Copies of this chain bind each other. A is one copy, B any other.
């Protein structure tokens, strides 16, 4: 397998993008990434998207987005894995370039969530659960997270204010991310007052579904245009693992087995230990997922992940910074686009371009994206390229 470099990154602001269509959002992100990559022209465009066929009545995005981005005639199609759609598309781009089959691949994650009313959106995202056995009975991703949160607090001694700290951290990090949806601090009092959504999970225990698009350009080291002045990022591993779709089919729902396995396989492939990374862009669609993912990755024993929050380990100056640009909670969660936003943000850190959010000496990053309640887990390992 050849080396794979992220030569360019691009993103549009996350939020309620009612002035832009799906195709325009994607084109803007792709154009920004191509510009950042010194104008490299991709031969392939892999698209991460989860909801367009339900929300926008639009499938077959491959030709739509390639054409609208000035890339007609290239290889293009959509990868879908719920919240991990963008991450799956990244894996596809990685394979295509690493194999030598594609010289330059563009990967775009794009989502429009806010063109329909909340109830319709909740039904759309419920399709990421096992429809026949979960959604059909009224289960939604939020309800799944609430069940996991309740179970976790039942099994272990986590005080609820630990999750408040996670929301506070995410929103603080989003303050200086110009592409984040939210630019306001939250505090303990706000958390206490937050509306209950699905007990015990409140408004600030979950991220907002929103619109956005982010893109990367990947290529081999020898094809990186000399005109590029910014540091490069190397992809050292990309691992996708699936678990059962339905929560009730799992021996231990709190184990997030696929998340653990994907970290294990990615680290083995890259020849590193999880503790070798300088930051962890963890998936924070629900705060409880952060705790469970930290434990699954081995950063803490099961039932003790929350202690990392209490110790301050997850802050920008801690030993394992997470959600460094706000994560899903602070930046917003444009479902199928999220995996690429995470990679773009980790790349900014590795390039030393994260501004006041810069993690010191960031050389290696772990990026993890989950689809469903960790029914699909994707772990990308990135490092600064010399």
Q: Which residues of A contact B (CB under 8 A)?
A: 1, 21, 44-45, 50-51, 53-54, 56-64, 66-67, 72-82, 84-85, 88, 91-92, 95-96, 98-101, 123, 126-132, 135, 239-245, 249, 257-258, 261, 371-372, 375-376
In this complex, which of A1, A57, A74, A132 has the most chain B Cβ atoms within 10 angstroms of its Cβ? Answer: A57
Q: How far is the CA of A371 from the CA of B78 in the complex (A)?
A: 12
Q: How far is the CA of A243 from the CA of B65 in the complex (A)?
A: 10
How many copies the complex holds: the figure is 2
Contact of A79 among B79, B245, B371 (CB under 8 A): B79
- Is A59 a contact of B258 with CB atoms below 8 Å? no
Within the complex, the shortest CB–CB distance from A218 to chain B, in Å, comes to 14
- Is B242 a contact of A63 with CB atoms below 8 Å? yes
Contact of A1 among B61, B100, B131, B376 (CB under 8 A): B100
- Is B59 a contact of A82 with CB atoms below 8 Å? yes
Q: How far is the CA of A86 from the CA of B82 in the complex (A)?
A: 19
Query: With contacts A21-B132, A75-B241 known, is A82 near B53, CB below 8 A?
Result: no
- Is B131 a contact of A57 with CB atoms below 8 Å? yes
Residues in B with CB closer than 8 Å to A78 are 79-81
Residues in B with CB closer than 8 Å to A76 are 81, 240, 242, 376
Within the complex, the shortest CB–CB distance from A261 to chain B, in Å, comes to 6
Q: How far is the CA of A167 from the CA of B77 in the complex (A)?
A: 30
- Is B244 a contact of A60 with CB atoms below 8 Å? no
Q: How far is the CA of A92 from the CA of B78 in the complex (A)?
A: 11
Within the complex, the shortest CB–CB distance from A119 to chain B, in Å, comes to 14
Q: How far is the CA of A257 from the CA of B58 in the complex (A)?
A: 22
Within the complex, the shortest CB–CB distance from A377 to chain B, in Å, comes to 9
Residues in B with CB closer than 8 Å to A63 are 242-245, 258, 371-372, 375-376
Query: With contacts A100-B1, A101-B1 known, is A240 near B59, CB below 8 A?
Result: no
Q: How far is the CA of A131 from the CA of B51 in the complex (A)?
A: 14
Across the interface, name the chain B residue whose C-beta is closest to A239.
B75
Q: How far is the CA of A243 from the CA of B61 in the complex (A)?
A: 11
Residues in B with CB closer than 8 Å to A131 are 56-58
Across the interface, name the chain B residue whose C-beta is closest to A136.
B57
Chosen A-B contacts, 30 in total, with CB atoms closer than 8 Å, are A1-B100, A45-B242, A54-B59, A57-B123, A57-B131, A58-B127, A58-B130, A58-B131, A58-B132, A60-B80, A60-B127, A61-B80, A62-B375, A63-B242, A63-B244, A63-B372, A63-B375, A64-B130, A64-B375, A72-B244, A73-B241, A73-B261, A75-B91, A75-B241, A76-B240, A78-B79, A78-B80, A79-B79, A95-B101, A99-B101
Across the interface, name the chain B residue whose C-beta is closest to A89.
B77
Across the interface, name the chain B residue whose C-beta is closest to A336.
B59
Residues in B with CB closer than 8 Å to A375 are 60, 62-64
Within the complex, the shortest CB–CB distance from A215 to chain B, in Å, comes to 16
Query: With contacts A62-B376, A98-B101, A132-B21 known, is A53 near B127, CB below 8 A?
Result: yes
Within the complex, the shortest CB–CB distance from A127 to chain B, in Å, comes to 4
Query: With contacts A99-B99, A258-B73 known, is A67 near B132, CB below 8 A?
Result: no
- Is B77 a contact of A77 with CB atoms below 8 Å? no
Query: With contacts A73-B241, A74-B241, A242-B76 known, is A81 near B101, CB below 8 A?
Result: no
